[in-house]
Structure 1
Amino acid sequence: MNIKFRLILMNFLQFFIWGAWLLTIATYWFQNKHWSSAQFSAIFSTMGISSIFMPALIGILSDRFINAEKLYGILHILGSLVLFSLPLVTNPATFFWVMLLNMLFYMPTLSLSITVAYSAFKQCNLDVVRDYPPIRIWGTIGFIAALWTVSLTHNETSANQFYIASAVSLGLGLYAFTLPKAPPLLGKNDNQSLGNRLGLNAFALFKQPKFAIFFMFSMLLGAALQLTNAYGDTFLHDFAKIDKYKSSIAVEYPAIIMSISQISETLFILAIPFFLRKFGIKYVMLFSMVAWVLRFGLFAFGDPAGGLWMIVLSCIVYGMAFDFFNISGSLFVETQTTPAIRGSAQGLFMMMVNGFGAMFGSIASGFLIDNFFTFSDKSKDWHNIWLCFAAYALVIALVFPFVFRYKRNAALENAIKHA
């Protein structure tokens, strides 16, 4: 079977699992379980908690001890079992721990999927800058397919969304064992220090200014991603409380409206090689930050009626906001590190984006919303919430070009040239 098709299927299923519940779990939580907002914030923080250490830890294992594709399959099979049991939980405290266990299994697979793909590319002499984005785009299509499946089958408030994700996770876990082998590239018996033996040498990247600054901004933008994941769908659902909006398409099918964001991703992923060649990786990252300003700012002034165009445009801009940093960031890590620490370096990137970034986004946004943007009747001041988030992204965009002084080097220049 063609290697590109095999990696396309892997990416499609990888993100279908996530898309089946990530944007609709809030609706399930509030309309089915009727548990509190504070408890939901804790549930959403499990993504960040697990990403702080699991991607890096699993990356170390893949660099040192176990084939990446085998780890990938094992984690998805375990995650399938947990997702299947999630709807059986009857109290929020237990729900937190079960969801945390699911995230401990799922989050490392994001970086492992990159490791498996890049390893296969090296074996087949494919170019990661030119050939990876058209493959990664199918992950976004998988996410969209999951959102539409859940929404059109009216399972946004149903436990079926977790059963769907569980079935796909099991299938991907079994399929993973057929993927090209991605063996460890660090020997078990090398005459190295204990830190190197454990694969901790990837953490030495923080000693390099370009990586220290890159990882810091990865965390800050990870927080922005957490904000849109946690509150986007709920923001549209809240318009149902206003008579003139409650029968609008955006309120009746919010998951489908939000899926425009993922549709936009498919276009911007394909545009990444062009933008890298034209502007370089530093400015591609900067474009992402400016796009986050627009993402939140358009939400602030949009509504499901006359302002629907602003909500739709915000979803379109999301494609640039998400892809330009996450995809180009993974390429930056790939071309600036040695193959021997590929897995753990990608794990560090995921740790900063989905770990510390998600934790920071959850805690900070929860505090701000509860203390400054919640009315006495418990409704939310969405206009000023989104303006606050836009101001946060604007500060990041203004600071970044002055502190990230990275210059193109031969490895990345060559990769971009042949994209």
Structure 2
Amino acid sequence: MSAPTASSPPSPAIPPRESLMTPLRLRLSLMFFLEFFVWGAWFVTLGTYLAVELEATGSQIALAFLTQSLGAILAPFVVGLVADRFFPAQKILGILHAVSALMLLLAGRQQEFGPFFVFALAAMVAFMPTLALVNSISFRRMARPDRQFPSVRVLGTIGWIVAGLVIGWLGWEAGERLELTFVMAAIGSALLAVYAFTLPDTPPEDRTQRPSVRDILGLDALALLKDRSYLVFFIASVLICVPLAFYYNFTNLYLNEIGVSSAAAVQSLGQVSEALFLLAMPLMLRRLGVKWTLVIGMLAWALRYTLFAVGDADGLYALVLIGLILHGVCYDFFFVAGQIHTDRFAPSRVRSAAQGLISLATYGVGLLLGSLISGPLVDAFRLADGTHDWRAVWLIPAALAAAVAVFFVLAFRERPGR
């Protein structure tokens, strides 16, 4: 990264960090609500939509979910090369959501998988960078992000939950009208596109700084992998995303096939537990340490898939519900704890790069591998009537998650105070 010279133009004024008074808190909270409402409005039921309305195979469904990974891989370039250098973050947010709204609307009008995939990929390439942009807009306005951010970010989880409840209330799954979820998502994205231009101005912090591709991809943080324990954590983070892909890609289809009513609404129990278990994270880290908190998160994945394998929509429905509620443990105790561990472990000069690298590895590489693996495996257990042998399907990611947990227990060594 080149340093500014004496002849460099002055940096734009940076808005002062604020105490986050109620009006600003409400504005940022609404931004997060719309951001995650848009994502949850179509992504949760995507597998069911493709299987039922486009008659897609498991491999095609996995390919559609792979658009998330491709968007995550490209997101650092959009944010690092554009938003961090040339234009205010809120304006880029608005433009990207306008593009996303159009692409989502077109995706829902397609009758064949090929054209659908093209528009879904374009929508995700536009959407995924906005996840970093809404964080940037918030952090730049907060005096104490560690204390203020969670109470604002939780509105995003509520937005995801509301999207699922709306789908269930309107009966779009039972009525095979899931193409309307793309209309709902497009409307939400268009609203956020307009709303973004009313948000506080968030210009680039220093236009004289020119990040290289190495900076954008967080490659300076690769030096952390020289530490054996952090390398083990990094590898486990990538590997655990392989069974994670089974959940994201096929849970809604599974719930609908076994006869769960209003599956998208029921599935939102996972986001409710995510918000609640997040509050337990500080206590768990203090009592158990990083290693065993991470292990609990990995074992929760194995338990959840086992419950899905033996549960049903009748006498064993409680097992399915427990499996959904475990989402808070699965996600918070591994991914959130892992982000905290990375922040503690990395030197201050590469903390941002380290977070970027771990996100690229998990949501990019890990979920990409999981999507490529999960699709053909689900196809292998497709039954003659078009449904699936879900017991056989879910036992595979259960075994994978358990294997990753065993590897992590044996290989990871936690250092006191890190």
Distance 1:325 1:111 in 2: 20
Q: The residue matched to 1:21 in structure 2 has which SS?
A: helix
Mapping for residues 8-407 of structure 1, pairs under 5 Å: 8-51=29-72, 53-61=73-81, 62-121=83-142, 124=143, 126-128=144-146, 130-156=147-173, 157-158=176-177, 159-185=179-205, 188=208, 196=212, 199-200=215-216, 202-209=218-225, 212-240=231-259, 250=260, 252-334=261-343, 345-371=354-380, 373-375=381-383, 378-407=386-415
* CA spacing shift, 1:164–1:377, aligned 2, 3 Å: closer
- Mean CA deviation greater in 72-81 or 35-44: 35-44
- Mean CA deviation greater in 287-296 or 373-382: 373-382
Following superposition, the deviation at residue 127 of structure 1 comes to 4.5
Q: The residue matched to 2:280 in structure 1 has which SS?
A: helix
Distance 1:9 1:220 in 2: 34
* CA spacing shift, 1:69–1:214, aligned 2, 3 Å: farther
Contact persistence 2:220–2:350 (CA under 8 A): no
User: 1:365 is matched by which residue type in structure 2?
Assistant: S
Partner of 2:10: none
Contact persistence 1:69–1:179 (CA under 8 A): yes
Q: Provide the identity percentage.
A: 32
* CA spacing shift, 1:295–1:329, aligned 2, 3 Å: same
Q: Structure 2 unaligned runs (5+)? A: 1-20
Q: The residue matched to 1:34 in structure 2 has which SS?
A: coil
- State how many pairs are aligned: 390
* CA spacing shift, 1:55–1:406, aligned 2, 3 Å: farther
Q: The residue matched to 1:88 in structure 2 has which SS?
A: coil
User: 2:392 is matched by which residue type in structure 1?
Assistant: N
Distance 1:399 1:68 in 2: 41
Structure holding more helix per residue: 1
User: 2:298 is matched by which residue type in structure 1?
Assistant: M
- Mean CA deviation greater in 60-69 or 90-99: 60-69
Following superposition, the deviation at residue 352 of structure 1 comes to 2.0
Following superposition, the deviation at residue 174 of structure 1 comes to 2.7
Following superposition, the deviation at residue 298 of structure 1 comes to 0.8
User: 2:155 is matched by which residue type in structure 1?
Assistant: W
User: 2:185 is matched by which residue type in structure 1?
Assistant: A
Q: The residue matched to 1:407 in structure 2 has which SS?
A: coil
Contact persistence 1:297–1:386 (CA under 8 A): yes
TM-score by length of 2: 0.83
* CA spacing shift, 1:109–1:339, aligned 2, 3 Å: farther
Distance 2:152 2:359 in 1: 19
User: 1:49 is matched by which residue type in structure 2?
Assistant: L
Runs (4+) off by over 6 Å: 338-343
* CA spacing shift, 1:353–1:120, aligned 2, 3 Å: farther
Contact persistence 1:56–1:348 (CA under 8 A): no
Following superposition, the deviation at residue 385 of structure 1 comes to 1.5
Q: The residue matched to 2:270 in structure 1 has which SS?
A: helix
